[in-house]
Structure 1
Amino acid sequence: MIKFLKWLSVLSTIGMLFVLVGGALVTKTESGLGCGRSWPLCNGELIPSDFNIELIIELSHRLVSGTVGILVLALSTLAWKYFGSVRETKFLSFISIFFLVLQGLIGAAAVVWGQSDFVLALHFGISLISFAAVFLLTLIIFEIDKKFDAESLIIDKSLRRQIYGLFWYTLAVVYTGALVRHAEASLVCKDWPLCEKGADIGTFSMDQWIQMGHRFAAGILFLWVIYLFVRVSKQYYQQKVMYYGWLAALILIILQVTFGAFIIFTILNLYIALAHALFISCFFGLLCYFVLLSSRSANFDKR
């Protein structure tokens, strides 16, 4: 059974990445109404009679999300049944399903009734939490199979606070990034890292404030990850899970910032934009694993 669950968990994790990137694709191509104001049907039809690129993108996203939802439901149910004794399993199983359903409902509401940019920006963050829960379930299953050892890891209280803070801050940065997309503010600033040469911030439009606010928040996130990598390298260089995990986090955040700049330089190249969404998704999933390890260390302190 554990071999089957390993395969199912990997497929579910990859599937959730497709859901996240697919959602970004729908937004970037403005395909949210590709099926009109109809959900779950497409233009009121089970099988659309007329096809265009927006309809194909939107309908494909719905089909992928539905298929992945079945995989996640199966994974959560089986993980609860066979590994419910592991402390985090039941919570993660519930969270993965709950937030997957929630993001689907928000997407459906946006199609049928429409939503403000500020509400739509929540959609990506909610999907991200569901992905992270599935990703953590996968890591727990691999932990049970002894593919890597994190049981002996103890993270000190000061570093745990930093990790918790980074988690919540990353969610805020993700929200500002999603808001940039939904407000169509990706290209309101023509330069990088500043908005425009010689521009007076007092004359910024709301869209420019949204764009520059995201850049500033992302810059702080970038510096924070560098600081934590240096700290982990000094304190936990013998702990492979910590050292290589934070090295991966550093690489992902460097790619994230670099591709964020390339979005401006390439004038919103679609593939660059999708890679930008992919990197932050992987980074957030990895960060959530360090939150899980930190919570284990906190429980160890209470014993």
Structure 2
Amino acid sequence: MLQRSLKWFATLTTLAMLFVLIGGALVTKTDSGMGCGRSWPLCNGQLIPSEITPELVIELSHRVVSGVAGIMVLILSIWAWRAIGHIRETKFLAAVSFIFLVLQGLIGAAAVVWGQSDFVLALHFGISLISFASVFLLTLLIFEVDKKFAAESLVIDSKMKFHIYGIISYCYIVVYTGALVRHMEASLACPSWPLCAKTRIIPVQLHEWVQMGHRIAAALLLIWMIAATVHAAKQYRQQAAIYWSWMISLILVMLQIVTGAMIVFTNLNLYIALAHALFISCLFGVLSYLTMLAFRSNYQKNESSQSKLPKLSATMK
């Protein structure tokens, strides 16, 4: 019964963190960051604001959701630590999920009270993404306790590990460039797609370079993702966790690129822009899962090698 309750709570916490990510994107895309003025955690210095504006509602709602999610993450971290602390990754993920959520909140508060440069604010989404991914992985570990999936039995070669570690690191860079596009208000700096403008190829000013830099980075991510997925299709069809994770990742990165193009074609449609943020969040979560599987493979290999040492020593004697 305890395990079932923990599963439900972990699932709800993961969804709450997803809402935090989308809420943050909504605040940025609607330019609602100053909806509560230079006041935090109060809104315009008041517990209950007297003047209600759409920007205030969006900003205040994001703060409330982030606060509730923070409490949920703290409870989940402690609960998981006590319930499945024997699983190697649990304590690390529990600590990271809460620490990065607090860090995300502090950066948001600092941006409101003192203001921050666009380059610093672009870190905000990436930090929230790490917290979300940690909660997501913690939830998967909780569901994994039933042993319906033996993750430790996976065998991952060095080429696949290179793809996994390289792509998730590069994906984080792409996420940063995308966040920088939003915070610099460069989403429509290039009125055409995939080129910046129909009459010229080379960008001519900073906002265009930021926009085209993000597009090129996303295109390279797609190419690398295709190569990794082809390798998974050839070598890992019998290992469903690896195979389907790459298939899902490829679909998500393609949806990410399609929605990125549609943002330009629809003149920054809000729902498409939020879908853009949703797809990258899900993609990073799946890549984080692949990373955990790769680390587990390393651990299992080292553990297996260590177990053979006493036998080797005995043979030499």
TM-score, reference length from structure 2:
0.94
For residues 83 and 212 of structure 2, the distance between their equivalents in structure 1, rounded to whole angstroms, comes to 48
Corresponding residue number in structure 1 for 2:282: 282
> Gaps spanning 5+ residues in structure 1: where?
none
Q: Structure 1 residue 147: deviation in Å?
A: 3.9
| SS at 1:151 equivalent | helix
Corresponding residue number in structure 2 for 1:85: 86
For residues 149 and 49 of structure 1, the distance between their equivalents in structure 2, rounded to whole angstroms, comes to 56
Tell me which amino acid in the other structure corresponds to 2:38: R
For residues 52 and 142 of structure 1, the distance between their equivalents in structure 2, rounded to whole angstroms, comes to 42
Deviating more after overlay: 291-300 vs 209-218: 291-300
| SS at 1:250 equivalent | helix
For residues 151 and 200 of structure 1, the distance between their equivalents in structure 2, rounded to whole angstroms, comes to 49
For residues 245 and 121 of structure 1, the distance between their equivalents in structure 2, rounded to whole angstroms, comes to 27
> Gaps spanning 5+ residues in structure 2: where?
306-317
Q: Structure 1 residue 148: deviation in Å?
A: 3.0
Corresponding residue number in structure 2 for 1:273: 273
| SS at 1:268 equivalent | coil
| SS at 2:151 equivalent | coil
Corresponding residue number in structure 1 for 2:65: 64
- Asked if the contact 2:195/2:201 (under 8 Å) is kept, the reply is no
- Asked if the contact 2:13/2:72 (under 8 Å) is kept, the reply is yes
Corresponding residue number in structure 1 for 2:249: 249
TM-score, reference length from structure 1:
0.98
Deviating more after overlay: 271-280 vs 145-154: 145-154
Tell me which amino acid in the other structure corresponds to 2:158: K
- Asked if the contact 2:13/2:69 (under 8 Å) is kept, the reply is yes
Q: Structure 1 residue 81: deviation in Å?
A: 1.1
For residues 206 and 93 of structure 1, the distance between their equivalents in structure 2, rounded to whole angstroms, comes to 40
Q: 1:195-240 deviations in whole A, cap 9, x for unaligned? A: 0023252x61000000000000000001111111111011010111
- Asked if the contact 1:121/1:182 (under 8 Å) is kept, the reply is yes
| SS at 1:33 equivalent | coil
| SS at 2:195 equivalent | coil
For residues 54 and 74 of structure 1, the distance between their equivalents in structure 2, rounded to whole angstroms, comes to 30
For residues 134 and 171 of structure 2, the distance between their equivalents in structure 1, rounded to whole angstroms, comes to 16
TM-align CA RMSD: 0.9
Corresponding residue number in structure 2 for 1:41: 42
Q: 1:162 to 1:200 in 2, by over 3 A?
A: closer
Q: 1:166 to 1:266 in 2, by over 3 A?
A: same
For these two proteins, the number of residue pairs brought into alignment is 302
Q: Structure 1 residue 156: deviation in Å?
A: 0.8
Corresponding residue number in structure 2 for 1:291: 291
Q: 1:169-189 deviations in whole A, cap 9, x for unaligned? A: 001000000000000000010
For residues 125 and 283 of structure 1, the distance between their equivalents in structure 2, rounded to whole angstroms, comes to 13
| SS at 1:142 equivalent | helix
Q: Structure 1 residue 82: deviation in Å?
A: 1.4
Tell me which amino acid in the other structure corresponds to 2:48: I
For residues 171 and 143 of structure 1, the distance between their equivalents in structure 2, rounded to whole angstroms, comes to 26
- Asked if the contact 2:229/2:250 (under 8 Å) is kept, the reply is yes
Q: 1:35-94 deviations in whole A, cap 9, x for unaligned? A: 000000000001111101000000000000001111111101111111111110000000
Larger C-alpha radius of gyration, 1 or 2? 2
Q: Structure 1 residue 157: deviation in Å?
A: 1.6
- Asked if the contact 2:34/2:112 (under 8 Å) is kept, the reply is yes
Corresponding residue number in structure 2 for 1:166: 167
Corresponding residue number in structure 1 for 2:312: none
Corresponding residue number in structure 2 for 1:18: 19
For residues 133 and 256 of structure 1, the distance between their equivalents in structure 2, rounded to whole angstroms, comes to 21
- Asked if the contact 1:142/1:148 (under 8 Å) is kept, the reply is no
For residues 7 and 148 of structure 2, the distance between their equivalents in structure 1, rounded to whole angstroms, comes to 11
For residues 244 and 157 of structure 1, the distance between their equivalents in structure 2, rounded to whole angstroms, comes to 19
